[in-house]
Amino acid sequence: MGFARWKSIVAAPAGLVVGVVASGNPANGDEGGVSYWLPGEFGSLSAAPLVPGWAVGIINVYESVSASGNIAAAREVTIGNLNPNAKVNLNLNLSAHPDLVLVDPAYVFATKVFGGQLAVSMGAAAGRSSGELDGTLTVAAGPLTATRQGQITDARYGFSDLYPETSLRWNSGVHSWMFYAAGDIPVGTYDSTRLANLGVGHGAIDGGAGYTYFDQKNEFSVVTGMTYNFINPSTDYQNGIDWHIDWGASQFVTKTIQVGLVGYFFRQLTADRGAAAFLGENLTQVAGIGPQFGFLFPAGSMQGYLNLKAYAEFAAENRAAGFNAWVTLSFSPKPPEAETHKARMFTK
């Protein structure tokens, strides 16, 4: 379900801020290499059937990411009446530490739709985002060399955008399938002149499909989807089309305890629009893998579920990378007594 639909926004990984650092105007949102889609949103049992009725998920996600890089390019510059070719070199270092809490109420309909189970949710988050960017820009044109150093630090509290989601699920024995559609309503804390934001500054739509195999003890889930990003009206910048795949594999060592692995891969498929020409296509990529632990427990008339998972990132391109940790607490209607061990209410 849509229990991870928030975005921690910090800007400016190496590779996307050439030309903006020199002017003191940091890149933000997707322009800084942070996608609308947060890798890791889906996980184990993501396509499994749910229990009809109201449910709520509370998720805390903490990220610690960094990036550094040296970018060189040749371009024409203007010095008086001359237009010599110049060598432009930029060395950047970024660190960011967003920490937000999402509250995501959801409703699962009992009435079938096209033979499947319909669920809807609307998530939003609040918290703190902070980041630091320092760099050195060197321009060499013939005998003339100019160097500029700078540092940008920013931290703020605020609210995220709104993240609606709907899904339709079908089940046949140990096999389950799902289609989902989601989006970004850009109403969160955002300022294009700031380094740290909690909204992305633009709308987005995302959709995809998922599959879960679950034999009541062993499970494997995979979800893939694509994101279309709308133009950021504050910057006239549009991020490219993104593709993502999230997966989870686990085993119930008892009826209430689950252990396993989770992972993801994210890749930008088409170029951004709005970057300086010599920046290239600005395609981003990142992968992650890590452990997970889940625990089911009774919560009055509801069923509670606690999940802990963490990802170490690698294979990053034009995007900050590091690690992220998720703590999820969710409550849903109790399943029929005979199906309690099936863990019908899970975070993605």
How high is the pLDDT of residue 290?
Answer: 97
pLDDT tens digits for 197-206?
888 899 999 9
Least confident of 114-118, 222-226, 274-278, 337-341: 337-341
Residue 331 binned pLDDT confidence (cut-offs 50, 70, 90): very high
- How many other CB atoms sit within 10 Å of the CB of residue 164? 15
Examine the pLDDT at 124 and tell me if it is beyond 80.
yes
Residue 317 binned pLDDT confidence (cut-offs 50, 70, 90): confident
How high is the pLDDT of residue 84?
Answer: 53
- The whole-angstrom separation of Cα 198 and Cα 130 is 10
Examine the pLDDT at 150 and tell me if it is beyond 60.
yes
3-state secondary structure string across the chain: CCCCCCCCEECCCCCCCCCCCCCCCCCCHHHHCCCCCCCCCCCCCCCCCCCCEEEEEEEEEEEEEEEEEEEEEEEECCECCECCEEEEEEEEEEEECCEEEEEEEEEECCCCECCEEEEEEEEEEEEEEEEEEEEEEEEEECCEEEEEEEEEEEEEEEECCEEEEEEEEEEECCEEEEEEEEEEECCCCCCCCCCEECCCCCCEEEEEEEEEEECCCEEEEEEEEEEEECCECCCCEECCCEEEEEEEEEEECCCCEEEEEEEEEEEECCCCECCCHHHCCCCCEEEEEEEEEEEEEEECCEEEEEEEEEEEEEEEECCCEEEEEEEEEEEEECCCHHHHHHCCCCCC
Using CB atoms within 10 A of its CB, is residue 120 exposed (0-12), middle (13-18) or buried (19+)? middle
Model pTM score: 0.79
Q: Which domains does the chain have, with CATH numbers?
A: 9-64+95-138+154-342 (2.40.160.40)
Residue 85 binned pLDDT confidence (cut-offs 50, 70, 90): low
What's the average model confidence in pLDDT over 169-178?
Answer: 97
pLDDT tens digits for 8-36?
333 333 233 333 333 333 333 345 556 78
The token duo for 146 is 């100019």
Examine the pLDDT at 341 and tell me if it is beyond 50.
no
Which residue type sits at 90?
A: L
